A and B are shown apart, each in its own frame.
Chain A
Amino acid sequence: MQMRERTKELLTLLARAGGYVTAEELATQLGVSSKTVYRWIERINDAHTEPLIVTSRGKGVKLLSENAAAPVKPAEPNGHSEFSPLQRQNKVLLSLLFKAPYYVQRETLFAPYYVSDSVIQSDLTVIGNLLAADTLRLIRDHTQVAVSGKEENIRRAINHTLERLNLFSVTSISEFSAGAAGMDKFDQAFIVGEINRVERTIDGDIPYPYNINLFSHMYTLIMRARNGHWDAEDYQMTPVDVQTARDNAVLYELAKVIIGDFDRYLVTQLPLTEELNIFQYLLSIQLGGDASQLLPMAPEVSAFTKYVTAAVARQIDLELDAASLTDLERHIQPMLNRLRNDITVKNVWLAEIRRQYGDLFNVIAAALNAAAEHFHLHAISADEAGFVTLYFARCLEEQDRPQRVVIMCTSGQGTSELLRVKVNKYFPDLVVPAVISTTQYTAANMATWRPDVVLSTVRVQPIDHVPVLLVSALFGDLDRANLHHLLAEHVEASDEN
């Protein structure tokens, strides 16, 4: 990892800490020595007109948020570049892709990097190879270069380049913006405004990594529209497009509104394909809560999910309960849409997921790819497999979770309180997520508390097959024996499943 990224990591840690943190703690988190941390701090402060980080004896180090806006000192034109060759090549490539199909002067393209002619020649060869991998061509003569190829391949190549520049290895939009070349504060404010519009429509936040994906797509659209050119294909919606738009009318209307905003912002008329592109990105977001109602579940999603869970169950002793299965389907649906539309997501937690759940990750990745083959889909990336692994990991942890008992009486304040004390005394390992009144005994609350047993001093009907044990406020020997028996039965039933 390059020095610039490491120092960025250090700044992120300091920003998160919000106050003083010791160099030793930072060193542990960054996997370097304290001495290195101090060296990086010096380097960061040197690079700014005002020090960004202050060091205090006995307290540690702290980010001075008031100096965060301090301008970076202009780089010395001494021929020394802060970029590695790979970063330089990708940054140049990105500029070229944004400007495609227009020619760019080689001199202008490489001016920020202070490199020799031979380095330029060798960089252009590398860039040509990278473009070829995305079915694009680098056209070059003695003084200028350009990219030629289909717009969909250019967009794909832009995504791959952003990925190589580690721009997807961030968890916040502000981090992405900081590294996005050519974007000014107006562009950033415009895109954030559009993302807010989406969030208002879905009535919730767009979770990571979908927020980064949508932001990067909008960023690419602005850069392409402003710097480059592409022929608007005379695209007609296919019957599948029409049906998908009809099935997801709210999101399709939203896509139309967003493209209308882009047209006004860029003073242009974007083609229908852009409307459909935005629509596909919106479909690729995993919507939670009520917003999930905006996306009806396609039958193939259930089939794919079942295939994966069955393949996993053949390898490990793990079967998802109904709620987890629904959660997984809600993740799989946009994932399948991403696969179909070549939308890639980066998973910043992938290394950690592999470290913590290595075996499980391998099983999930294999199951996903077997399913992809079975359903004639593209191969599924490790990043995607990482996200799916988290669903199964959660279930594994749930299997080991302590048993849960909700305690109830008519008011939730009387005998149930007394019962809670007695349950804690006689069953110290049980978790009591809630002490409730009969009016709070609803399916929605039960789904939240997920009890194994409801212990009640009043007679009620079971909800969602969760057994209700009627006990007296005495919670005597017989009540305790009954609870013990019921919990043991529940464990056996879970094991059989």
Chain B
Amino acid sequence: MKIDVYPTTTIGFRPTLTAVGTWLAKQKVAPNSQQFMETVLTREQAGSTSIGGGLMVPHYMQPGLSPARLVAVPIHAAESWPGLDGQPIRLLLITCFDPDQPQPAFQALLRGLASPTAAAKLVRQPDAGLAQALANLMTMEENNGTN
């Protein structure tokens, strides 16, 4: 899974998605910003992807999308919208993938984030080390010899 870090100072969830969508459209990951935002919001309407501790994992599910991408969006704006636990969202982990294909790295990342310590550490991570920290979480189980 390819990891990108896209820091932003944009305020609000929708404006942030628009900005990321525009960038992903340029990267040919999404056809355009509007389609990207609608897809992500449709999933959010079914149930929030806020996982607490200032983290949110929005999904951009697009059949046929390959390779899968993970866009880490540290929110550096002074204000941010609250997550389900009331804490302001500080890091978006936008996963772009084909829902019909297994995504073991993504699954491993989510299992790793079930640990509040790991999640808190990730949110505090400086932008420069974020990609490596995410890669470490995705391969942590392999390195521990577990599935």
Contact = CB atoms under 8 A, between A and B. Distances in A.
A473 B48 contact: yes
A339 B48 CA distance: 60
Given A420-B111, A474-B51, A413 B46 contact: no
Contacts of A413: 97, 99, 102-103, 106-107, 110
B107 A474 contact: no
B47 A414 contact: no
A437 B69 CA distance: 19
A459 B46 contact: yes
B85 A418 contact: no
A58 interface: no
Contacts of B102: 413
A458 interface: yes
B61 interface: yes
A472 B111 CA distance: 15
B111 A414 contact: no
A411 B60 CA distance: 10
Nearest to A476: B85
Interface string A433-473: 00001010000000000000000111100000000001011
B113 A472 contact: no
B120 interface: no
Interface in A238-259: none
B111 A421 contact: yes
A472 B46 CA distance: 11
Contact of A473 (B51, B61, B103, B107): B51
- Please classify how large the interface on chain A is, using the bins under 10, 10 to 19, 20 to 34, 35 or more: 20 to 34
A456 B103 CA distance: 19
Interface of B: 43, 46-52, 57, 59, 61, 84-85, 95, 97, 99, 102-103, 106-107, 110-111, 113-114
> Which 8 pairs from chain A and chain B are nearest by CB?
A421-B114, A458-B46, A417-B110, A418-B110, A457-B47, A458-B47, A474-B52, A417-B107
Interface of A: 409-411, 413-415, 417-418, 420-422, 425, 437, 439, 456-459, 470, 472-474, 476
13 contacts: A411-B97, A411-B99, A413-B106, A414-B49, A417-B107, A421-B114, A457-B46, A458-B47, A459-B47, A472-B50, A473-B47, A474-B84, A474-B85
Given A410-B59, A476-B52, 20 more contacts: A410-B46, A411-B97, A413-B103, A414-B49, A414-B107, A417-B106, A418-B110, A421-B111, A421-B114, A456-B47, A457-B49, A459-B46, A459-B47, A472-B50, A472-B84, A473-B49, A473-B50, A473-B51, A473-B52, A474-B51
